[in-house]
Structure 1
């Protein structure tokens, strides 16, 4: 691996006191930053001795990470069956946020909007939508889905939008991808109107799948830097100026082919599973499964 690596402090408490829980597996970066990909390639995973958060350390520089996302392929996101699954997941997230917040109209921002399926659904409900993502290909596709949305290519940061300009903000599997997740939430809190709500989805290190998978947990990917539990995520949101309202497990809807391709770390098992699904003509069947994810809803008082 020829890219420059840097060491970082704990994303939650800022301390530099940790123990290794999973050694690095840095075989290849090829396709590792494509969208809708869970690569078995990952950094060394450590656990902070002070707050208990797990995170990747050392990691690629932020510049290298952004460059890899910029050119990430979106092929998997736009396949007919995968797109059908993604739309089901995005509908579930938006509907749950609306149910918790009671907000039925207004302005919604999706951080890390990817190919724009969440924005497409929210826009169809009547929301004025905006989104941002570092992926050039993803943003182009998102703009094709929501032609009158404010969809931008680049890094999410302060100064992009007026403060207190959004009623709802969604952040779906993003905070685990960034070096400074606190900055994401703090900036979101500034962009929210008083009484606005934020919805965060990420992997859950306290999930039953994480516990039985151990070091083979699917979340251990080179795309991921921070690894959260419900308690740590709520703590971070509160420290960033939001009031956590609820944390719960997420269902994920994908095809059986997707689960086989991304759920097996063993190439032999993956090949066998895909072969069996093809023979039985079951690969495109959708299944909703608690895939070790969680979601947090929080409001700005």
Structure 2
């Protein structure tokens, strides 16, 4: 695999000031497989050069592959994490009741980076109507339930594919890190929302305790991630693009034990052996909730 790389400014605030290198590039594209751009994969512990922005506190990668290169990589990515996707959708869905109290109604919701549509199921369960998902990879769409597949649009999210002010809720879960232009997506979400509508994002927090403990071996430092947020940078993103009543909260993720082991920075051979054993036992599927370094952020359109 070879990719043409391009430099960029901070994707959140546009800062072009003095570069503060957080970590030099550490990746080998020849070692990547079809899971490299898949969700909830086995970490390769590779990353582009990471820069710390002193203005908004985001960590961003530069240089990065051209957009067309990334679009192709995502389109061809494999998918095998339906179980984990449904665990995540239940966790994220637990925050919906509070949001539902503040938006005009439940008509119109869009989930950007919807995967196999697990959260679309959650939205339907909560009473939302006129829902849609956008997903750049073909494999998760094919893995979606038959009744969910027609609700998913294949491709990169483009605001021009939708009518302005038609949604009461825009969601984007652990996808902000992957976006070529998160600022533009936030602006587009504002355009699509009705007055009083909400954005509801989940992102990795590079200031979280787990990231501090594991350092560069944390699975959040990944070849897929073009930027990593903190509470400060996530709030900055929403505030600078017009959102109000912004709230953040630490997420307690709930996944089976085998998934948590999958993320640990263990020697690969030992990890694979352990995973194989866990998946043969009931204990491997024991759900465990921990604060794994993820952040919820919600904002509303005036």
* TM > 0.5 fold call: yes
Report the CA distance shift for 1:46/1:269 in structure 2 as closer, same or farther (over 3 A): farther
- Distance, in Å, in 1 between the alignment partners of 2:221 and 2:182 is 17
Residue of structure 2 in register with 1:262 after alignment: 263
- Distance, in Å, in 2 between the alignment partners of 1:204 and 1:148 is 33
- Distance, in Å, in 2 between the alignment partners of 1:280 and 1:165 is 47
Deviation at 1:36, TM superposition (A): 2.0
- Distance, in Å, in 2 between the alignment partners of 1:279 and 1:66 is 36
Report the CA distance shift for 1:276/1:153 in structure 2 as closer, same or farther (over 3 A): closer
Residue of structure 2 in register with 1:144 after alignment: 146
**How far does the alpha carbon of each residue in 1:256-297 deviate from its partner, in whole angstroms, 9 at most, with x for none?**
111112222532552464366468652222211111100101
Q: Matches of residues 77-88 of structure 1 in structure 2 within 5 Å?
A: 77=82, 83=83, 85-88=84-87
Structure 2 unpaired stretches of 5+? none
Deviation at 1:162, TM superposition (A): 0.7
SS at match of 2:250: strand
Partners of 1:29 and 1:41 within 8 A in 2: no
SS at match of 1:74: coil
- Distance, in Å, in 1 between the alignment partners of 2:238 and 2:38 is 28
- Distance, in Å, in 2 between the alignment partners of 1:12 and 1:25 is 23
- Distance, in Å, in 2 between the alignment partners of 1:153 and 1:279 is 35
Partners of 1:173 and 1:202 within 8 A in 2: yes
Deviation at 1:190, TM superposition (A): 0.6
TM-score by length of 2: 0.90
SS at match of 1:89: helix
**How far does the alpha carbon of each residue in 1:176-211 deviate from its partner, in whole angstroms, 9 at most, with x for none?**
101210111110011010011110000011211111
Pairing partner for 2:32 from 4, 29, 33: 29
Residue of structure 2 in register with 1:182 after alignment: 183
Q: Does 2:212 align with 1:207?
A: no
TM-score by length of 1: 0.90
Partners of 1:234 and 1:244 within 8 A in 2: no
- Distance, in Å, in 1 between the alignment partners of 2:183 and 2:63 is 19
Residue of structure 2 in register with 1:90 after alignment: 89
Deviation at 1:156, TM superposition (A): 0.9
Superposition RMSD in Å: 2.1
Partners of 2:91 and 2:253 within 8 A in 1: no
Structure 1 unpaired stretches of 5+? 78-82
Residue of structure 1 in register with 2:5 after alignment: 5
Partners of 1:120 and 1:145 within 8 A in 2: no
